[in-house]
Structure 1
Amino acid sequence: MAMPPPPPTGMPPMGPMGPMAPMAPMGPMGPMGPPPAADMPGMGTMPVMHAAFFWGHRAQVLFRDWPGDRAGAGMYVLCLLIVLALAALVEALSAASRGVSSRRPAAVLALTGLHAVKMALAYLVMLAVMSFNVGVLLAAVAGHAIGFLLARSAVFRQATPGDAPQNGALIPSEAEPKP
């Protein structure tokens, strides 16, 4: 079978469906892989992204180069404390909005704003955990646990009259005479 003659200079090669676009150079992974680094202008060294949990203070959480390698483990500990506080705040905001019901437009708007802030903080905690750093995961879990303990459990809440008998009062089941 005879090959068609090459197109004149300046014309794209012709395929069975018409002119063909010039082919991009293939990277190391074939035509679907990323192009070689030399073909990406402006791209410096990219940070290592972990796909499995790891230990260590050299992590990137939420923001570029934060906490990074700065000042050893001090910035990492600060990062863990911030993640812990964010997770605890999510639980506190969740408890604050619980049980509040009102039909007044101002109250409904306030609850909606509170919910939006709570969800934004919850997503920040989720993104921090997605750094795959075990310390960040433990800080997030501890923050949620501490927030639950402080905001939702009855441990630190002041008792209300319906919670427990006061001053030797009888429990309602004991006050009724038995037949």
Structure 2
Amino acid sequence: MSHAMPMPMPNDNMDGMHMTFFWGKDVVMLFNDWPNGKLGMYILALACVFVAAVAIEFLGGLTAIKTRTSPIIGGLVQASVYGVRMALAYLVMLSVMSYNVGVFIVVVVGHAFGYFIVKYRDGSKAKNDLA
């Protein structure tokens, strides 16, 4: 005699986790009880995710270390920047996996804004170098 538990359907809500996209401030992101359904904390969470997405693009657009730097120090600095960038990227990815539409939109806008800043800065430098 088997006592098999029924498998939850894909849209079932297990312990507050959503398996499909949803709207609203009632989301759990990265840590238990955060943002905890409070509008102010939800807005803060969105701001943090936006800043992280912008930082990912900014760190990806940093130029190489100056040639006067020793190869070991230059490599360590670049590896450290890359490590921070990857840590932020994984945190942003995990935030998106909350399936909250607001988080998804803020992440996409943050990446686009960060990419714009990097390209604008590069274009401004190129324009100044030609002048």
Q: Does 1:47 align with 2:24?
A: no
The TM-score, its normalising length taken from structure 2, stands at 0.81
Aligned alpha-carbon RMSD (Å): 2.5
Q: Does 1:136 align with 2:103?
A: yes
**Residue of structure 1 equivalent to 2:85:** 118
Structure with larger Rg: 1
2:65 touches 2:74 (CA, 8 Å); kept in 1?
no
**Residue of structure 2 equivalent to 1:63:** 31
Tell me by how many angstroms 1:28 deviates. Answer: 3.0
Tell me by how many angstroms 1:73 deviates. Answer: 1.2
Alignment of 1:1-179 (within 5 A): 26-29=3-6, 47-69=15-37, 72-96=38-62, 98-100=63-65, 104-154=71-121, 157-158=124-125, 159-162=127-130, 166=131
**Residue of structure 2 equivalent to 1:177:** none
Tell me by how many angstroms 1:142 deviates. Answer: 0.9
Aligned mates of 2:84, 2:45 — CA distance in 1: 20
Relative contact order (C-alpha < 8 Å, sep 6+): which is higher?
A: 2
The TM-score, its normalising length taken from structure 1, stands at 0.61
Tell me by how many angstroms 1:89 deviates. Answer: 0.5
Structure 2 unaligned residues grouped into runs of 5+: 9-13
Tell me by how many angstroms 1:47 deviates. Answer: 2.6
Tell me by how many angstroms 1:68 deviates. Answer: 1.6
Structure 1 unaligned residues grouped into runs of 5+: 1-22, 35-45, 167-179
1:90 touches 1:144 (CA, 8 Å); kept in 2?
yes
Structure 2 letter corresponding to 1:152: K
Aligned mates of 2:61, 2:19 — CA distance in 1: 34
Aligned residue pairs total: 123
Percentage of pairs with the same residue: 37
Structure 1 letter corresponding to 2:21: F
